[in-house]
Amino acid sequence: MKRRRSLFIHLSYIRILAKKFAIVILFLSAFVLMLLNKTENVLVEKTSSVATDMLSPLVDVLVVPARFFAGIYDYFGEIKEVYKDNQQLREENRKLLNMYDRMKVLEVENKLLANLLNYEIPPEAQYMTARIIAEEGDAFSHSVIAYTGETDQVKKGQVVLSDRGLVGRIDSVGHMYSKILLLTDINSRIPVMVEKTRVRGILAGDNTSVPKMVFIPLDAEIKVGDRIVTSGVAGVFPAGLPVGRVTSVEKKNVTVKPYSNLDGLEYVRIVNYGLKGIIEDE
């Protein structure tokens, strides 16, 4: 009993001493924290710089494997893309070879049919570029003047084209200049046809921006948007030259809007197809 009592007394004494020193410890802790707060920035900066100096070489060493594996990943990714592109190119090459083989077959068939029909292949076209220098558009005519220079290549009746399609034909040739009769001129008559249905007619100018297609069959099926090309009849214009598109069909009154902007011509191409239907100068 005496031992237990003495032990209790000692514990009570220790608790009293701890309570007495607790206040002192708290004050010392607060003082230390205040000092650390004032020197925090300096310590942090020094610690950070030291840590950076120590860890930078280690980071450089650790980055090397990461870069290596990243390079390998990119390399195999590029190989995959190259393989994919290669497969696509092979497929396109196969299609081109099939088209080439078919073209050769059609070329042979075309020669055989030409021999059977005694068809004479037209000569290769020759052309020259001319600059438009003046317009003669009025109520009675739609024509322009082109500078052709001193040349004997330009002849009356030759075809005149723009970058989009047919413009007209050479109406007269001078020493340095040539007059071009536009397809909208009231004196212009061009044999044409509907490209899809092969319906033939004559494109007649009427001094408006939309010439009319006349002399077409009564049962002809022509729709708005149909593509109009030259038919090659009469031997002046070769077949297949783009002319324009149908804009309206009303009781066989078919109007065609030309592909070429005839009001803003700057340069044209005068083409000699070597046809025999060219109108000679008097």
Indicate yes or no: pTM above 0.75.
no
Q: What is the pLDDT of residues 85-138, one digit of tens each?
A: 888 888 888 888 888 878 887 887 777 777 766 655 556 778 899 999 998 766
Which of these, 184, 244, 251, 237, lies nearest to 211 by C-alpha position?
184
Residues 257, 140: one domain? yes
Q: Is residue 265 part of a domain?
A: yes
Q: What is the pLDDT of residues 79-94, one digit of tens each?
A: 888 888 888 888 888 8
Q: Is residue 168 part of a domain?
A: yes
Q: What is the pLDDT of residues 134-146, one digit of tens each?
A: 987 666 778 999 9
Q: Is residue 113 part of a domain?
A: no
Residues 34, 143: one domain? no
Count of the separate structural domains present in the chain: 2
Q: What is the pLDDT of residues 192-216, one digit of tens each?
A: 999 988 899 999 999 999 999 999 9
pLDDT average, residue stretch 18-23:
61
Distance, in Å, from the CA atom of 254 to the CA atom of 144, rounded to the nearest integer, reads 26
- Mean pLDDT of the chain, nearest integer: 79
Beta bridge partners of 25: none
The predicted pLDDT at position 250 comes to 84
Domain residues for the domain of 177 are 126-272
Q: Is residue 84 part of a domain?
A: no
Distance, in Å, from the CA atom of 237 to the CA atom of 228, rounded to the nearest integer, reads 14
Distance, in Å, from the CA atom of 171 to the CA atom of 128, rounded to the nearest integer, reads 16
Q: Is residue 108 part of a domain?
A: no
Residues 154, 261: one domain? yes
Residues 8, 144: one domain? no
Residues 8, 131: one domain? no
Q: By the 8 A CB rule, do 159 and 182 touch?
A: no
Q: pLDDT tier at 6 (50, 70, 90 boundaries)? A: low
Q: What is the pLDDT of residues 212-248, one digit of tens each?
A: 999 998 888 899 999 999 998 877 888 889 999 999 9
pLDDT average, residue stretch 39-59:
59
Residues 7, 139: one domain? no
Going by DSSP bridges, is the β-strand pair 227-230/242-250 parallel, antiparallel, or unpaired?
antiparallel
Q: Is the pLDDT of residue 281 over 60?
A: no
CATH of the domain at 139: 2.40.10.350
pLDDT average, residue stretch 151-168:
90
